Amino acid sequence: MTLPNLDAAFSALADPTRRGILVRLAKGEASVMELAKPFEMTQPAISQHLKVLEDAGLVARRVDGTKRPRRLAKAGIEAMDQWLAMLRKALEKNYDRLDEVLAGMERPTIKTTTKTMRGENR
Amino acid sequence: MTLPNLDAAFSALADPTRRGILVRLAKGEASVMELAKPFEMTQPAISQHLKVLEDAGLVARRVDGTKRPRRLAKAGIEAMDQWLAMLRKALEKNYDRLDEVLAGMERPTIKTTTKTMRGENR
């Protein structure tokens, strides 16, 4: 796939084994056998998870003789990362705005309301 | 929920309407009616999507008289963001390492292989 599909990408991350595979690949390229080892899973089971990650554009494979080492696929991971960065920036901006509001405030009742809002977010 | 559940959080993002709701909330707090408007969906349908986002710890609600305005829930979004940041950093590090390898290389055959790897990632 060329265009990152956010539906498939986020759906692929909703599984702890698949997130574990990505954490392993973050350390560098690995074979299916190396990927299967820490999970106590059969190679076909791991291959199935790898297929989901490849179809979602998060993992790529390279041909090396009879081996097919897998690695992280930059484009797909960046697409998700950029989408989430947008939410993160929005949260930072909202909190800056809240700080401005607080700085201009004096009535304690309003302060209490704002405190409760912050508390819920912990 | 207090502890962010990454399975539920990433699963919640695997739907374009739910991502759209988060984009709208990134602009600030909104009522269910305001959230339903741009999607041409009924309020019950939007409420169902909101429930998924709330259960996943990505959206929080506030009590304001009879209204229940929704907003982004910082903790859940930060948890996903931090998990992805780990992958992003790994990709940056791998590319730095690749640059170092390239800098120390002279044989064109190896350069071609590396070029192909980069090309696949576009």
DSSP string, A75-107: HHHHHHHHHHHHHHHHHHHHHHHHHHHHHT---
Any idea where the domains of chain B sit in the sequence?
Answer: 3-102
Q: Partners of A67 in the beta sheet?
A: A64
Classify residue A35 by burial, with Cβ atoms within 10 Å: 0-12, 13-18, 19+: buried
Q: Which residues of A touch B25 (CB under 8 A)?
A: 90
CB contact set of A122 (below 8 Å; sequence gap of 6+): B2, B75
The SS3 call for residue B75 is: helix
C-alpha A21/C-alpha A6 separation (Å) is 19
Please say if the pLDDT value at position B107 is more than 60.
Answer: no
* Token pair 């056998």 in the structure block, residue: A33
Beta strand pairing call for A59-61 and A70-72: antiparallel
DSSP string, B83-100: HHHHHHHHHHHHHHHHHH
Interface touch B10/A10, C-beta < 8 Å: yes
Q: Mean pLDDT throughout A72-76?
A: 94
Q: What's the gap in Å between the CA of B44 and the closest CA on chain A? A: 22
Q: What's the gap in Å between the CA of A14 and the closest CA on chain B? A: 4
Q: How far is CA A105 from the centre of its chain?
A: 38
Tell me, what's the pLDDT at A106?
A: 53
C-alpha A53/C-alpha B64 separation (Å) is 43
Cα distances from A98 to residues A23, A92, B55, B75, in angstroms, run 36, 10, 25, 17
Q: Which residues of B touch A73 (CB under 8 A)?
A: 120-121
Tell me, what's the pLDDT at B41?
A: 87
Q: How much of chain A exceeds pLDDT 90, in percent?
A: 63
Q: Compare B121 and A108 and report the one with higher pLDDT.
A: A108
* Geometric angle at alpha carbon A46, from A45 and A47, rounded to 5°: 90
**Complex confidence, ipTM:** 0.76
Average pLDDT, chain B: 83
Tell me, what's the pLDDT at B93?
A: 82
> For the domain with range B3-102, which CATH number is right: 1.10.10.10, 3.40.50.720, 1.10.530.10, 1.10.3720.10?
1.10.10.10
In 3D space, the residue among A71, A78, A64 whose CA is nearest the CA of residue A24 turns out to be A71
Q: Which of A11, A22, A60 is closest, CB to CB, to B121? A: A60
Please say if the pLDDT value at position B100 is more than 60.
Answer: yes
Tell me, what's the pLDDT at B51?
A: 97
Q: Partners of B72 in the beta sheet?
A: B59
Cα distances from A72 to residues A27, A38, A94, in angstroms, run 10, 18, 33
Please say if the pLDDT value at position B117 is more than 90.
Answer: no
Please say if the pLDDT value at position A96 is more than 50.
Answer: yes
Q: Tell me how crowded residue B114 is: count the other CB atoms within 10 A of its CB.
A: 14
Please say if the pLDDT value at position B95 is more than 90.
Answer: no
Tell me, what's the pLDDT at A98?
A: 62
In 3D space, the residue among A9, A4, A91, A51 whose CA is nearest the CA of residue B15 turns out to be A9
